[in-house]
């Protein structure tokens, strides 16, 4: 079993020895020297984090599963059936993209059919990971970060945020179709308008895109040249995440000397938190020790946890201790997502089934909380309110964000009309396509461009240059889509072989 980090052990030791009233301030976020934070890089990372165009079907951004008003976690509902639906191994995970083939076409998934795939674990909050050397429930994203194209070590230490970014972007249930190469994603960003699917851009985002309206320009501003690479995408997103420090909770103000910052119930909850040894794992001020434990939530056969990464049987069923900061905003709890409110998660420690694999509390032996109903109520007040940063709850700077395409889906009930005047012209070995917006233009968000019945592009523009077109006779189709993914009929055009006519018009 992975021991608590040295920092966590030292912090807990100092906390236990500290006099009443000692100030516990958040430590500085570790920043790898290979990826210093700059303002152009931060705002580029913010744009990328909230851009659904990074996914293969334009429906999932990093922020889709990590929303501030939900405590940095996922407010949506999805059920992964495990080996058989409706049984004890089901997980309430996070919806990702639909099943796709390597050409980008939607296919029937053996488990999820035509619906969105569901992850096997609930997305954890992204706010608690700023200080951690290992991320994800099983710690599979470690401190070393490698270029996924060359394999070269780019960051030696403190690179977990960069590493976890590319894991999500390359997962074929979360954001990436099977077999997508990094060059395909970077080429997409080269020609797509930043955040074109989102609305209600924050002011800093609006100013950045106003000054640099393309991704190459934004990357040049952040990195000195317009090259878009997987490493730079990870660098920018990680730089943005490191600025999301939620340190203005009532508990932080109370620790800084404001005796009125917490209510009487929250103060009693803070005392219960200490006396019941909750802080042995959820060590203040981070309210996590970044270690991995099996708390007896599920049998190991349903999820090996940390053992799946280390191969060590001692790690069987171990999951990362989450931070409790902003936990009161989350819609579901634990890696299984099985508790739908904070009170149920607290109650688990009082009434949960004890499996033989369950670990002891660090330095305190077996779980034996014996909470009174009053203590349980006070704990609820403390975790639910005193550890909530109002900027996170209200999604104000730096936790502000745009409104996602998928959040507008309920506004669309009818598919758009067919795009008009689709034309295709060969120019210097490439095919330039253009079309008109649908006549009704009711909520069109993007267009699906097919070449020979394979996805060639998802674009928000009405013009596209197909640089991968061959010299053979080609058939193109364009469909308009709204926020709810309602799809129009197809506009079609056929262009002859390269030696034939220069261009053809379709319908």
Angle formed by the axes of helices 215-223 and 203-211, nearest 10°: 100
User: Same structural domain for residues 260 and 210?
Assistant: no
User: Same structural domain for residues 18 and 47?
Assistant: no
367 contacts 349 by C-beta, under 8 angstroms: yes
User: Same structural domain for residues 275 and 221?
Assistant: no
3-state secondary structure at position 292: strand
Residue 458 CB-half CA count within 13 A: 23
User: Same structural domain for residues 45 and 19?
Assistant: no
Mark which of 246, 270, 297 sits at the end of a domain: 246
User: Same structural domain for residues 84 and 215?
Assistant: yes
Query: Which is nearest to 164 in space by CA: 174, 149, 152, 179?
Result: 174
As beta bridge partners, residue 293 has: 319
What range defines the domain where residue 353 resides?
Answer: 6-26+251-388
User: Same structural domain for residues 151 and 229?
Assistant: yes
The pTM for the full model equals: 0.92
The residues near 152 (Cβ < 8 Å, ≥ 6 apart) are: 146
In a domain, 276, yes or no: yes
* 319-320 and 444-451 beta bridge pairing: unpaired
Dist. CA 212–CA 219, nearest whole Å = 9
SS3 per-residue string spanning 306-333: CHHHHCCHHHCCEEECCCCCCHHHCCCE
202 contacts 398 by C-beta, under 8 angstroms: no
In a domain, 426, yes or no: yes
Residue 179 CB-half CA count within 13 A: 7
Give me 455's structure tokens. Answer: 């996805």
Helix (H) / strand (E) containing 9? helix 6-17
The residues near 337 (Cβ < 8 Å, ≥ 6 apart) are: 91, 92, 93, 121, 122
Helix (H) / strand (E) containing 466? strand 463-466
The residues near 466 (Cβ < 8 Å, ≥ 6 apart) are: 430, 431, 432, 433, 449, 451, 456, 457
In a domain, 309, yes or no: yes
Instruction: Provide the edge-to-edge strand list for the sheet that holds 420-427.
Output: 463-466, 430-436, 420-427, 503-505
Q: Distance of CA 275 to CAs 37, 279, 326, 355, 409, Å?
A: 39, 9, 21, 24, 47
pLDDT at residue number 2: 60
Residues composing the chain: 507
Query: Which is nearest to 237 in space by CA: 165, 143, 129?
Result: 165
User: Same structural domain for residues 49 and 178?
Assistant: yes
Cite the DSSP H helix spans in 195-312.
203-211, 215-223, 230-241, 250-255, 264-275, 307-310
Counting the structural domains of the chain, the total is 3
In a domain, 334, yes or no: yes
pLDDT tens for the chain, residues 1 to 507? 565 555 555 455 445 444 444 568 899 999 999 999 999 999 999 999 999 999 999 999 999 999 999 999 999 999 999 888 888 889 999 999 999 999 899 999 999 999 999 999 999 999 988 999 999 999 999 999 999 999 999 999 999 999 999 999 999 999 999 999 999 999 999 999 999 999 999 999 999 999 999 999 999 999 999 999 999 999 999 999 999 999 999 999 999 999 999 999 999 999 999 999 999 999 999 999 999 999 988 889 999 999 999 999 999 999 999 999 999 999 999 999 999 999 999 998 887 666 777 887 887 777 767 889 999 999 999 999 999 999 999 999 999 999 999 998 877 788 999 999 999 999 988 999 999 999 876 678 999 999 999 999 999 999 999 998 989 999 999 999 998 889 999 999 999 886 544 445 555
User: Same structural domain for residues 113 and 168?
Assistant: yes
Helix (H) / strand (E) containing 378? helix 373-381
User: Same structural domain for residues 240 and 258?
Assistant: no
In a domain, 32, yes or no: no
As beta bridge partners, residue 503 has: 425
Q: Is the dihedral of CA 248, 250, 256, 261 positive or negative?
A: positive
The residues near 342 (Cβ < 8 Å, ≥ 6 apart) are: 327, 328, 330, 333, 380, 383, 384
User: Same structural domain for residues 130 and 265?
Assistant: no
Dist. CA 166–CA 111, nearest whole Å = 25
Mark which of 246, 280, 295 sits at the end of a domain: 246
User: Same structural domain for residues 384 and 477?
Assistant: no
Tell me the CATH number at 454.
2.60.40.10
In a domain, 195, yes or no: yes
Mark which of 196, 213, 246 sits at the end of a domain: 246
Helix (H) / strand (E) containing 304? none
Give me 218's structure tokens. Answer: 């934004």
pLDDT at residue number 24: 82
pLDDT at residue number 418: 95
DSSP codes of every residue in 69-80: GGTTB--S---B
Dist. CA 471–CA 456, nearest whole Å = 16
Give me 62's structure tokens. Answer: 């990093």
Q: Distance of CA 490 to CAs 100, 104, 150, Å?
A: 20, 17, 40
* 292-293 and 153-155 beta bridge pairing: unpaired
Query: Which is nearest to 452 in space by CA: 494, 503, 499?
Result: 494
Q: Is the dihedral of CA 134, 135, 136, 141 positive or negative?
A: negative
Tell me the CATH number at 92.
1.10.760.10
Q: Distance of CA 79 to CAs 67, 139, 364, Å?
A: 19, 23, 35
As beta bridge partners, residue 339 has: 333
User: Same structural domain for residues 267 and 381?
Assistant: yes
What is the CA angle 433-437-438, rounded to 5? 125
């Amino acid at each position: 079993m992975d021991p608590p980090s040295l920092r966590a052990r030292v912090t807990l030791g100092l906390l236990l020895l500290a006099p009443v009233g000692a100030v516990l301030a958040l430590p500085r976020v570790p920043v790898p020297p290979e990826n210093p934070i700059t303002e152009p890089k931060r705002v580029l990372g913010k744009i990328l984090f909230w851009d659904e165009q990074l996914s293969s079907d334009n429906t999932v951004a990093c922020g889709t599963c990590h929303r501030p008003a939900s405590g940095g976690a996922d407010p949506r509902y999805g059920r992964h059936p495990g080996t058989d639906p409706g049984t004890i191994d089901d997980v309430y995970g996070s919806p990702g993209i639909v099943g796709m083939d390597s050409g980008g076409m939607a296919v029937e998934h053996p488990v999820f059919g035509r619906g969105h795939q569901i992850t096997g674990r609930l997305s954890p909050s992204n706010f608690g990971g700023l200080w951690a050397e290992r991320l994800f429930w099983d710690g599979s994203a470690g401190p070393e970060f490698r270029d996924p194209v060359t394999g070269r070590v780019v960051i030696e230490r403190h690179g977990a945020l960069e590493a976890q970014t590319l894991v999500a972007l390359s997962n074929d249930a979360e954001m990436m179709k099977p077999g997508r190469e990094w060059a395909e994603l970077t080429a997409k960003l080269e020609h797509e308008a930043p955040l074109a699917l989102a609305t209600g851009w924050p002011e800093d985002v609006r100013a950045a895109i106003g000054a640099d309206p393309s991704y190459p320009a934004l990357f040049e501003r952040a990195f000195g040249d317009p090259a878009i690479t997987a490493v730079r995408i990870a660098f920018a997103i990680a730089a943005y995440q490191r600025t999301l420090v939620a340190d203005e909770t009532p508990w932080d103000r109370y620790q800084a000397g404001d005796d009125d910052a917490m209510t009487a119930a929250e103060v009693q909850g803070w005392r219960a938190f200490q006396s019941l040894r909750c802080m042995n794992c959820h060590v203040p001020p981070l309210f996590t020790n970044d270690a991995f434990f099996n708390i007896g939530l599920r049998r190991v056969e349903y999820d090996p946890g940390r053992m799946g990464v280390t191969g060590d049987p001692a790690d069987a069923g171990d999951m990362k201790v989450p931070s409790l900061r902003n936990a009161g905003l989350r819609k579901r709890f634990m890696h299984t997502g099985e508790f739908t409110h904070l009170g149920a998660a607290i109650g688990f420690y009082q009434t949960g089934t004890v499996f033989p694999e369950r670990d002891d509390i660090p330095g305190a032996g077996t779980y034996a909380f014996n909470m009174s109903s009053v203590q349980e109520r006070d704990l609820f007040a403390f975790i639910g309110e005193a550890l909530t940063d109002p900027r996170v709850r209200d999604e104000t700077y730096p936790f502000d964000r745009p409104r996602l395409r998928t959040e507008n889906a309920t506004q669309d009930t009818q598919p758009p009309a067919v795009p008009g005047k689709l034309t295709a012209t060969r120019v210097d070995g490439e095919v330039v396509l253009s079309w008109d917006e649908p006549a009704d233009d009711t909520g069109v968000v993007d267009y699906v461009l097919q070449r020979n019945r394979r996805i060639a592009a998802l674009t928000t523009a009405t013009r596209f240059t197909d640089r991968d077109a061959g010299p053979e006779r080609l058939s193109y189709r364009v469909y308009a889509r709204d926020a709810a993914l309602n799809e129009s009929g197809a506009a079609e055009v056929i262009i002859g072989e390269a030696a034939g006519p220069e261009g053809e018009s379709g319908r």
